[in-house]
Structure 1
């Protein structure tokens, strides 16, 4: 797929997140790995105004925020690049400020296995990492740690992040994470949700290796 097509994927992804209510305005950000570079949504541009030519291109090896494009990349560019460096299996990153996931993040509460779909994130919990100011190396370090063995995490008093082998799988996880957060929140309001045992989730993780949206070429 050409870089132009990848840029289009990011724009479509940003619009889809807004349509689903998972982001609003210029909140959140998306990126794609393209060879030795990363395409990152620009800072401060609402999804409805985003155009493919506005996407910033950042060299993956650079540590100082170098970019090409008419607008600077999202202020969260650092954790996008650091996640790609730490996870060779990840080619798409989506950061969102969705309502239920962010609510749990303000409570600094990880999501337990109240539903088997948690297996989509690689284990029996979706962790909640600690707080650090946005765009900082400290936040990036927390994010990379939270995604070490998971494909999604909550960011304390901030929002959530999900990853995928491609944008389709990352967006799928964004939807599933918000759904899990909503179920857990409502269940906790009603009583004490029953948490599935770890061994059941690990079995489901194995079954989920071929589950979810497939690449468009498959």
Structure 2
């Protein structure tokens, strides 16, 4: 097997393992493997990790970000390059939207300090300043955090996590340690953030998901509407989700309009054109509820409306089509 094929197979293997571990879902996040000092192999934009093929793992030139073929590499390829250029020992990079680290990312803090030191992270993890997904600003902000970081991970505000290691196994362990440590950290802030019946969903009709998780029930009592604290909420759901009183007729009327809502005492009703998209909305709604509680505890603010609008328009135009391809 050639070096290129071996790198692609490792990326595919990592994508499936991360999906099975719940650290990434659907097409969210990206994975790469360093080939040498000039190239790396990275997942393509908008591809499902459980069905990823070799031709959907793209070889990218570090110097000019060039690549061959018609399949586009991940829009976050610059962030991966930054890791390889700044961390010479890094051989594998994982960018995730994992739940606990994403919730922490909404708090607006610059540094997260854990109670116990983590083998691959240390006792603190830096949080990179916010930038819209795929932009040079996000890459520059991430690079500044990487330059100061001593561990194998940084958190990207309102976005997710960036983890790396000398190989696939170490990068995976960094992502796992970060999620576990962030979970313990969130428990000290507000115990409502982590609920035991996470992703407690039930299908209602052909393309409606009822999410009965406790964090959404608690959210409905604490907030009047859900605002975007995370990029993927802005991209896939939009500017807000309404919280309705416990009224079946109002919830059914919203569903007929194709509107996803949260109903007090009932949970989230997630509506989309397909069942898979309704499940995605359910996952994001639940994660954004976690982020909302975390942000409130630290005076974190939601993403600006104009930034949410741009992300939503870009997603509808580009990534939604890729996800359904």
The TM-score normalised by the length of structure 1 is 0.81
- Number of the residue aligned with 1:135: 134
Q: CA RMSD in A?
A: 1.5
Q: Over residues 123-175 of structure 1, what are the superposed CA-to-partner deviations in whole Å (9 max), with x where a residue is unaligned?
A: 43101111001111111111112122332111010000011111111011011
The alpha carbon displacement at 1:189 in A equals: 2.1
- Number of the residue aligned with 1:197: none
- Number of the residue aligned with 1:111: 112
Distance 1:113 1:23 in 2: 23
Residues 55 and 69, structure 1, Cα contact 8 Å, conserved in 2: no
Give 3-state SS (helix, strand or coil) of 1:114's partner.
strand
- Number of the residue aligned with 1:91: 91
Inter-CA distance 177–28: structure 2 relative to 1 (3 Å threshold): same
Distance 1:52 1:181 in 2: 33
**Structure 1 stretch displaced more, 11-20 or 78-87:** 78-87
Distance 1:52 1:100 in 2: 30
Which structure has greater strand proportion? 2
Inter-CA distance 170–69: structure 2 relative to 1 (3 Å threshold): farther
Give 3-state SS (helix, strand or coil) of 2:45's partner.
coil
**Structure 1 stretch displaced more, 139-148 or 71-80:** 139-148
Residues 42 and 74, structure 1, Cα contact 8 Å, conserved in 2: yes
Q: Over residues 24-53 of structure 1, what are the superposed CA-to-partner deviations in whole Å (9 max), with x where a residue is unaligned?
A: 100000111101211010000011121122
Give the 5 Å matches for 1:1-218.
2-35=3-36, 36-62=38-64, 65-109=65-109, 110-117=111-118, 119-121=119-121, 123-148=122-147, 149-150=149-150, 151-189=152-190
Distance 1:54 1:41 in 2: 6
Residues 43 and 72, structure 1, Cα contact 8 Å, conserved in 2: yes
Distance 2:155 2:120 in 1: 15
The alpha carbon displacement at 1:112 in A equals: 0.6
Distance 1:155 1:170 in 2: 16
The alpha carbon displacement at 1:79 in A equals: 0.9
Q: Over residues 69-99 of structure 1, what are the superposed CA-to-partner deviations in whole Å (9 max), with x where a residue is unaligned?
A: 4510001011111221222111111000001
The TM-score normalised by the length of structure 2 is 0.55
Give 3-state SS (helix, strand or coil) of 1:126's partner.
strand
The alpha carbon displacement at 1:120 in A equals: 1.5
What is the aligned residue count? 186
Residues 56 and 70, structure 1, Cα contact 8 Å, conserved in 2: no
Residues 53 and 69, structure 1, Cα contact 8 Å, conserved in 2: no
The alpha carbon displacement at 1:113 in A equals: 2.5
Give 3-state SS (helix, strand or coil) of 1:89's partner.
coil
Give 3-state SS (helix, strand or coil) of 2:113's partner.
coil
Residues 39 and 55, structure 1, Cα contact 8 Å, conserved in 2: yes
Residues 34 and 92, structure 2, Cα contact 8 Å, conserved in 1: yes
Give 3-state SS (helix, strand or coil) of 2:112's partner.
coil
Give 3-state SS (helix, strand or coil) of 1:75's partner.
coil
